Structure 1
């Protein structure tokens, strides 16, 4: 098996499964989520500030996105960001309408925005990531996608890659099973369990700090950070064993240099 090649950046022969985050790792949808978080929060914050005669401080789609919402379950992301601004809202219920100003209502408002974009735009993939997934499966490794997004099935279908994963743990599954979101390791641990692979023999691939922390907290054999935003140092500090700019770097050299 090529995975045992000592010249590879990763000795893939040591592992039986690879668990991938979705947004920012496999698909270029992180930017869609960042845009929708900003639109939703800015609209809310403007009203909140005006009603209290306070200055409006917009949501920062880089700093606030990565610090408080990236990689987290949707409602956890709402709570995390609002807490950073000292704002408390009632949780509400997951079936709250997007117009309700509850944690769930705001989360549902953001989700509706994402759905509108996904319905009208093509979902792009990171070709280097997809090449790695295909190669790993050829080597006999199991694969899973682990995402906080409830849009995960739609994104996988739109990108044409749903057949590349043996298991999927997404926002719907996490909610149904009562699994806490990242940085808790539970969603990744559930994926490994469904693949019948112990964490020590599985690899986690993430671009979010919370996801890296989840991989480290779960005792996985290897945690790989994908640096899409110039965050290599922060990813390493959070617990990534390896940080790459593109997952194509983890293929055998003869394959990584080929045209996608």
Structure 2
């Protein structure tokens, strides 16, 4: 392993509940659709906003509609983050991992389905600039297909000048783990803090290199 690519939401920052709440708010506001547990696993987390909106609201939404609805959802989500005292820090153990990666001079970046407006928010809210170069972050900008397509991880690997087979990807979402597999990433690790999805991850062999609860033992396991 010569480089590390982190997913962000639900991986570095345990905010999956807030994203689910924001999507539920938006979907109930504009449709009669419901969200099942399978929807949350396979059609929400890891997916880009345009894909989610067309799946739940209408396949015929215009680009302008997508942007307006996406902006509304993300503004509501960011409001939930700021108002939640439980959502103001990284996942347990992550700062120690980031420090160790810096010490070992191992290239690292973030590959997220989030739009730029959210990544800008995280750079301010969580001081991401202490650990990451903003120009090396990969976020959803509409220029490549989202997860489970491999593009996001291939782009991230290129940005840190490490071949995909020499990268470690850490992901929490079903689609993200599929994307890592599709990108032929050399080491794929899932994070499942609340033990919700590890059975399906393991059954479908989406996390061949392990499933972790948090980053407490990450360095001793993967950075030896």
One fold, TM greater than 0.5? yes
- Paired residue for 1:70? 45
Which one is further off, 132-141 or 201-210? 132-141
The alignment status of 1:26 with 2:1, answered yes or no, reads no
Aligned match of 1:152 in 104, 119, 122?
119
Instruction: State the SS of the aligned residue for 1:216.
Output: helix
Q: In structure 1, what is the Cα distance between the partners aligned to 2:167 and 2:211?
A: 17
Asked if structure 2 preserves the Cα contact closer than 8 Å seen for 1:17 and 1:141, the reply is yes
For residue 44 of structure 1, report the CA deviation from its aligned partner: 1.6
The alignment status of 1:170 with 2:146, answered yes or no, reads no
Q: How does 1:95-134 map to 2 (within 5 A)?
A: 96=64, 102-121=65-84, 123-134=88-99
- Paired residue for 1:245? 213
- Paired residue for 1:12? none
After superposition, the CA RMSD in angstroms is: 2.1
Q: In structure 1, what is the Cα distance between the partners aligned to 2:102 and 2:201?
A: 26
Aligned match of 1:90 in 60, 78, 85?
60
Q: In structure 1, what is the Cα distance between the partners aligned to 2:35 and 2:90?
A: 26
Aligned match of 1:233 in 169, 183, 199?
199
Q: In structure 2, what is the Cα distance between the partners aligned to 1:39 and 1:247?
A: 31
Q: 1:224 to 1:21 in 2, by over 3 A?
A: same
- Gap regions ≥5 residues in structure 1: 1-14, 47-56, 97-101, 254-260
For residue 90 of structure 1, report the CA deviation from its aligned partner: 1.9
For residue 147 of structure 1, report the CA deviation from its aligned partner: 0.6
Instruction: State the SS of the aligned residue for 1:223.
Output: strand
Instruction: State the SS of the aligned residue for 1:252.
Output: helix
TM-score in terms of structure 2 length: 0.85
User: Aligned residue pairs: how many?
Assistant: 212
Asked if structure 2 preserves the Cα contact closer than 8 Å seen for 1:70 and 1:77, the reply is no
Asked if structure 1 preserves the Cα contact closer than 8 Å seen for 2:2 and 2:162, the reply is yes
For residue 238 of structure 1, report the CA deviation from its aligned partner: 4.9
Higher relative contact order (CA 8 A, sep 6+): 2
Q: In structure 2, what is the Cα distance between the partners aligned to 1:216 and 1:127?
A: 26
State which structure, 1 or 2, has the greater radius of gyration over its C-alpha atoms. 1
Aligned match of 2:149 in 157, 181, 184?
184
The alignment status of 1:142 with 2:110, answered yes or no, reads no
Q: In structure 2, what is the Cα distance between the partners aligned to 1:222 and 1:184?
A: 17
Q: In structure 2, what is the Cα distance between the partners aligned to 1:124 and 1:249?
A: 18
For residue 129 of structure 1, report the CA deviation from its aligned partner: 2.2
For residue 160 of structure 1, report the CA deviation from its aligned partner: 2.0
Q: In structure 2, what is the Cα distance between the partners aligned to 1:41 and 1:201?
A: 40
